[in-house]
Amino acid sequence: MKLKAIGRRLAEMHRDEQGADLIEYILIIAAIALPLLGVIIYYRKDITEWVQGQYEEIKTESEDTTMP
């Protein structure tokens, strides 16, 4: 039921020039976001290790500066 309503709304947008522009913008954003998301997922282990290393480095530096 809701799928038909969504389809009708998309068809209305498609007929309307502003709706067509909106769909173009959504497709452009998706074309950028999806590959970026894929890269993040593919390198998630490396990213996690890097972030943890940075956290440990900052934590160590802050401990060194607080000790007299």
* Mean pLDDT along residues 4-9: 83
pTM for this structure?
0.52
Q: What one-character-per-residue DSSP string does 5-68 give? A: HHHHHHHHHHHSHHHHHHHHHHHHHHHHHHHHHHHHHHTHHHHHHHHHHHHHHHHHHHHHHH--
Write out pLDDT tens, residues 24-67: 899 999 999 999 999 999 999 999 999 999 999 998 888 777 65
Higher pLDDT: 19 or 44? It is: 44
pLDDT at 65: 72
- Split at pLDDT 50, 70, 90, the class of 8 is confident
